[in-house]
Structure 1
Amino acid sequence: MEQENTIEKSSPLKKEAWEWAKALLIAAALVFIIRWLIFAPFIVEGPSMEPNFYTSERLIVNKIIYSMRKPERGEVIVFHATKDKDYIKRVIALPGETVKVEGDKVYVNNQVLDEPYLKKALEDAAKKGVPYNTRNFPEKKVADGTIFVMGDNRSNSADSRDIGFIEYEKVVGRADLIFWPFNKISLVHF
């Protein structure tokens, strides 16, 4: 009796199911890589970044950019302020620079910092005859490996004036995109 050589053919349904399973596994792996290693969502809480960011706005934070370079002045970053809390602030001064806040002016290396992102807020405060910033900061040199950050809402922000310089290791990433609410979808400008 001769043994038949048979090749078992899988059914088209099984083949299709396997292809879908592979596609879903690849998609899940990509979501994991993108979500945990490259980008992360962040929800703005509190008024510290008004008038540029408001409570409940949702942002995409670029987590990989600072593995390629250091934060730059004017960029909006998210960092670990405490073990359980992340903050969003703007980079004002870099390592080795001196920084001082006097009234509505911020000085970096004894030069007034140009802050176009606050132009309208500063003009509105001046029209009302009130200072935009009510919290000064004495001149200090930014320590190596750290940055000085401030909220855009200068009188209502817990920032480097309160919590000190921010170590590079605590920086999560740069805010790149507002994606919620839909009517405010936009790239973050620096």
Structure 2
Amino acid sequence: MDFYRSEDNNKLRQIVNWIVDIVVVIALAWFLVYAYGTQIVIAGHSMLPLLASDDVVLMDRLAYDFGNPDRFDVVVFQREDQKMNVKRVIGLPGETVQIKNDEILIDGEKLKEPSGPGRISLAGLAEKPVKLGSDEYFLLGDNRDSSEDSRFANIGNVSRGQIQGKVWFRMMPFIKMELIRSK
């Protein structure tokens, strides 16, 4: 019998295959946008010269699902007031951070920054040694003299749970479009 080979059955199969393909493509697109396409607008000049006010960057939400932030990563974290901020990881869990004589000390040793942003004239809370807990990070802006960061009580040490993801791409302005890499 040609009942199973009917043309109607073949058209139905094509339509179902087409619908499944569309659903898979939409699901994949949603996943990629959710995971790697969260847009963050930079507010202020605390990350100069790397990022300027009103730059639009993309955040990788999955970067730290299977690992932890590394020193010098540029991360997005949620402040206590629910605002999102972008800063650079300087101190890692368990370390002691201090700013002394305009230099950053990690466990008493001078931090060697690959392309240092310069001197730090205000040590804030890090004037005295700051011991980081087992899930705490010390974050600083690249523009150290114009950054509200872990040196100040309203930010302080940032817990791992506050870190939302890693900045990986600047998409605007278009003339400055580039991958953002750790130092």
TM-score, with normalisation over the residues of structure 2? 0.82
Return the letter of the residue paired with 2:166.
Answer: R
Which residue, out of 133, 152, 158, partners 1:143? 133
Aligned-residue identity in percent: 26
Q: CA deviation at 1:20?
A: 5.5
- Matched ranges for 1:90-105 at <5 A: 90-105=88-103
SS of residue in 2 equivalent to 1:31: helix
Cα deviation digits, residues 90-131 of structure 1 (max 9, x gap): 000111111111353111111111223335xx3xxxxxxxxx
Which residue, out of 145, 148, 163, partners 1:158? 148
Which residue, out of 59, 62, 87, partners 1:61? 59
Q: CA deviation at 1:14?
A: 8.3
User: Does the 8 Å contact 1:48/1:152 carry over to 2?
Assistant: yes
Distance 1:6 1:107, change over 3 A: closer
Q: Aligned partners of 2:80, 2:29: CA distance in 1, in Å? A: 27
Q: What residue in structure 2 maps to residue 128 of structure 1?
A: none
Whichever of the two has the greater Rg, that structure is 1
**Structure 1, unaligned runs of 5 or more:** 123-131
Distance 1:101 1:6, change over 3 A: closer
The alignment status of 1:178 with 2:176, answered yes or no, reads no
Return the letter of the residue paired with 2:32.
Answer: I
TM-score, with normalisation over the residues of structure 1? 0.79
Root-mean-square deviation (CA), in Å? Answer: 2.6
| Paired positions, count | 176
**Structure 2, unaligned runs of 5 or more:** none
Q: Aligned partners of 1:178, 1:19: CA distance in 2, in Å? A: 38
Which residue, out of 37, 40, 43, partners 1:42? 40
User: Does the 8 Å contact 1:103/1:135 carry over to 2?
Assistant: no
Q: CA deviation at 1:79?
A: 0.8
